[in-house]
Amino acid sequence: MSMTIQNPWTAQARFAIYYAPARASDWWGAGSTWLARDAESDEPLNPHEAPALSQPLAKLTTSPRRYGWHGTLVAPFHLAEHVTVADLLDTAERWAHTQLPFELPVEAATLGDFVALRPATPMGDDQMRALAADALRTFTPLRIAPSAADIAKRMESPLTERQRELLVEWGYPYVLDEFRFHMTLSSSLAHAADRAAIVEWWHREAQRLGPLSIDGAAIFVEPAPGEPFRLWQRLAFTAEQGQNA
């Protein structure tokens, strides 16, 4: 049954299911400070004392700053016409109650021309892929299916045959077996030296902070096209050992 909550957004708003470290955790503080923005309060932060880079850190983190400190589980989507934000929240909370918390060792790495955190072990990679697949199947009925024009535009990108199949079936090519969990630390960087410096800096940070606690997810909202994403609702994982099949 849907809850009665006020919808502060228009039909232009997009929603996403992201992993975000707990607000009180050192991981939330470290990542938000690095991006110079707290996505939950929407407040700017004083950035970290950055490594030696070709430009100020703020210029190298413009893209991830807009999205906030997160790792994608379900990419941004518009709600289907018959779906309310109350429906979304109800579904999200029910889903979260079936999820079992776990610890995820992570490492910094260059992914293409940007830097991100990623699972440090194959087991962690598999755990995050399974979590994202479950989220995808849960939230797909609530979202508007991509238009034929959207699909055609994405088909212009260099995709593998498998990614094209997933794009047609799910509206996004990097899901299920093609999903790779990551938490973005930089925009696209032209200089390899910048990428290497950030990887080295975050290698030390990851060792200091320890594993990520995958103990919840969050609903993020983009109120209108191009606006910064906001963390709207946190979703605690409350399943107990043996409950989550």
Blockwise average pLDDT, block size 10, the chain, 245 residues: 64 95 97 96 84 90 97 96 95 97 98 97 97 97 88 87 92 92 97 96 96 98 96 94 57
Widest CA span of the chain, in angstroms? 54
Candidates 185, 230, 175; CA nearest to 205 is 185
Q: What is the pLDDT of residue 8?
A: 81
The tokens describing 214, both together, are 């995958």
Q: What is the pLDDT of residue 245?
A: 45
Q: What are phi and psi of 212, to 5 degrees?
A: -75, 140
Q: Under CATH, what is the fold of the domain 14-236? A: Cyclic Phosphodiesterase; Chain: A, (3.90.1140)
Q: What is the pLDDT of residue 5?
A: 66
**Domain map (residue ranges) of the chain:** 14-236
Report yes or no: 180 and 125 within 8 Å, Cβ to Cβ.
yes
Strand runs labelled E in 154-205: 183-184
As a whole number of angstroms, the distance between CA 241 and CA 87 comes to 28
Q: How much is the pTM?
A: 0.92
Spatial neighbors of 133 by CB under 8 A, at least 6 apart, are 175, 176, 179
Report yes or no: 210 and 71 within 8 Å, Cβ to Cβ.
no
Report yes or no: 129 and 71 within 8 Å, Cβ to Cβ.
no
Render the burial of 95-107: b for 16+ CB within 10 Å, e for the rest. Answer: bbeebbebebebb
Q: What is the pLDDT of residue 1?
A: 43
Residue type, 8: P
Q: What is the pLDDT of residue 36?
A: 95
Residues paired with residue 103 on neighbouring β-strands, in sequence order: 213
Spatial neighbors of 156 by CB under 8 A, at least 6 apart, are none
Determine which helix (DSSP H) or strand (DSSP E) holds 118, and give its type and residue range: strand 114-119
Q: What is the pLDDT of residue 4?
A: 54
